[in-house]
Amino acid sequence: MTDALNIAIAQLNPTVGDVAGNVARVRAARAEAAKLGSDVVVFSELMLSGYPPEDLVLKPAFQRRLHEAVEELRADTADGGPALFVTTPWREADKLHNAILLLDRGEIVGKRFKVDLPNYGVFDEKRVFAPGPMPGPLVFRDVRIGVPICEDVWTPDVVECIAETGGELILVPNGSPYEVDKTERRMQLGVARVVESGLPFCYVNQVGGQDELIFDGGSFVIGADRKLRVSLPSFREAVVATQWRRGAGGKWDCMPGTVVPVLPRLESIYQAMVLGLRDYVNKNRFSGVIIGLSGGIDSALTAAVAVDALGADRVRTVMMPSPYTSRDSLEDAAQCAGALGVRYDIVSIEPAMKAFAEMLRPVFGNRAADTTEENIQARARGVTLMAISNKFGHMVVTTGNKSEMAVGYSTLYGDMCGGYNALKDVYKTTVFALARWRNAHQPLGAMGPGGEVIPERIITKPPSAELKPDQKDQDTLPPYDLLDKILEGLIERDLGVEELAAEGHDAATVQRVWRMLEMAEYKRRQAPPGVKITGRAVSRDRRYPITNAFRG
């Protein structure tokens, strides 16, 4: 009877659709695990396809390639090296499943299929997968190992079934997207399943960016005594060997290993933004990015994230002044670019403004200037950035934050023009906090410099779009600390005007913010993707109708 197992946790960064690349990652992790003396390697959810594959997984050609990949890896295991708990979409009996397969000694030893398919928030698995039957454990070297998949452990039933059918330990492959403060929730979840089943619990999570989703890794093992045995780093790939022993009464447990501290809140948000932008740019094979550097805090923070993600040589910035651009903004943008070490160009949009005024005079006549002329400025800047992007191949990164995107404080085909947005799910008050945090810290793995990279005046001056003389954001918006609290209630908690008024907010202000939020839905539908940070982003998490007469 086996009394010891060395189980390698492979916390990797797959790319959706890159089956060959993902197989190469599995093989590299297996080779590393072999050096660590591992008996078996367990991977995160849908490792071979990448997660989430969405409707790509419905293509027969893609399914065939995945089957071929499994056969390649099955043949690999004939060499007597570590076995593989590999995860993949798998078609069987004319049904497509989210599956985990045990490959050992040249054979497919067993399969299990995900039971509980999530269909909320960013998840849409019932659209593409069929649920599997309630699973018992798989037997590996005489050890009965339960392998529930991700959502299967968010409720007790599947783990209970594994325990009742003789399971001795739990290995859980996951594709759990990042949200602020989610690490603690995952660990509490693991403790709950351990309490109910009496079995030790290993949680293996994906790392990397996939469009708007960020996977933060942070895999961990909880012992049968409900204590944390091992934890892996957040936002980084890792292959870690864990030691398991059969103890008194035949019960299995994991021996204590390295425990990596959970990142503080602001650092985790910043790292999510860096990883999201880096993977979006690199996985889509852009040479670099271009950012409109206005002298404001949003573009400065975006530039810092971009340099930390890609390095200064792949980041280009452009100041596009108008007659309303202040001397402070010109100085602050130049100082920020200098601190980050990026290329900085100045392209005035005043000639474009004059040209549009002349073009439109026969149509506009003597009508007074209003937001129309302000939007022309934003669109002139968008055209400028896209022209440079087309000419040199850099992707435009937009700089609007969640507060602005929520209430429509943005211009279609202007400041919303671009390929990705690192701040899309970051409230304005958090933008300020992140700017101060970045000035005080050089993030682990950052490619940018240490020290103050965002000039202090950018952080302290009142926010302004500078589209007309002496303009301030608070001319038309509530103060950001108030606005963000109202938006958090409306978006994250789905509260109405009366409930927020009961919490002490002015009902008329809440009603005005709600109206702005709803009216801007059509803009958000046309916005570029961006990093998901909170529990409910104003994109794929919150799908409101554009045509909507409800005013509650």
Query: Quick one: CA torsion of 322, 324, 329, 330, rounded to 10 degrees?
Result: 40
Q: What is the 3-state secondary structure (H, E, C) of 237-296?
A: CEEEEEEEEECHHHCEEECCCCECCCCCHHHHHHHHHHHHHHHHHHHCCCCCEEEECCCC
Residue 511: is it exposed, middle or buried by C-beta count within 10 angstroms (0-12/13-18/19+)? Answer: middle
Residue 472: active-site member: no
Give the SS3 label for residue 526: coil
Number of Cβ atoms within 10 Å of the Cβ of 74: 19
Strand pairing partners for 187?
none
DSSP string over 34-89: HHTT-SEEEE-TTTTT-S--GGGGG-HHHHHHHHHHHHHHHHHGGGSS-EEEEEEE
From the candidates 32, 111, 114, 466, give the one annotated as an active-site residue: 114
Note if 283 is an active site residue. no
Catalytic position from the list 32, 125, 150, 212 = 150
Give the integer Cα–Cα distance in Å for 161 and 193: 12
Is residue 110 a contact partner of residue 99, using CB atoms and an 8 Å limit? Answer: no
Q: What is the dihedral of CA 164, 168, 174, 180, to 10 degrees?
A: 90
| Nearest one of 139, 144, 175, 157 to 44, comparing CA atoms | 175
d(CA 210, CA 89) in angstroms, rounded, equals: 17
Largest CA distance in the chain: 91
In the numeric block, which tokens belong to residue 536?
């409910």
The answer to whether the bond into 52 is cis (omega within 30° of 0) is yes
CB contact at 8 A, 156 and 132: no
* Residue 540 buriedness (CB in 10 A; 0-12 / 13-18 / 19+): middle
Of 32, 45, 179, 212, the active-site residue reads 45
Phi then psi for residue 184, to 5 deg, are -65, -40
CA dihedral for 366, 369, 375, 380, sign (positive or negative): positive
Is 45 catalytic? The answer is yes
Helices (H), 77-181: 157-164
Catalytic residues: 45, 114, 150
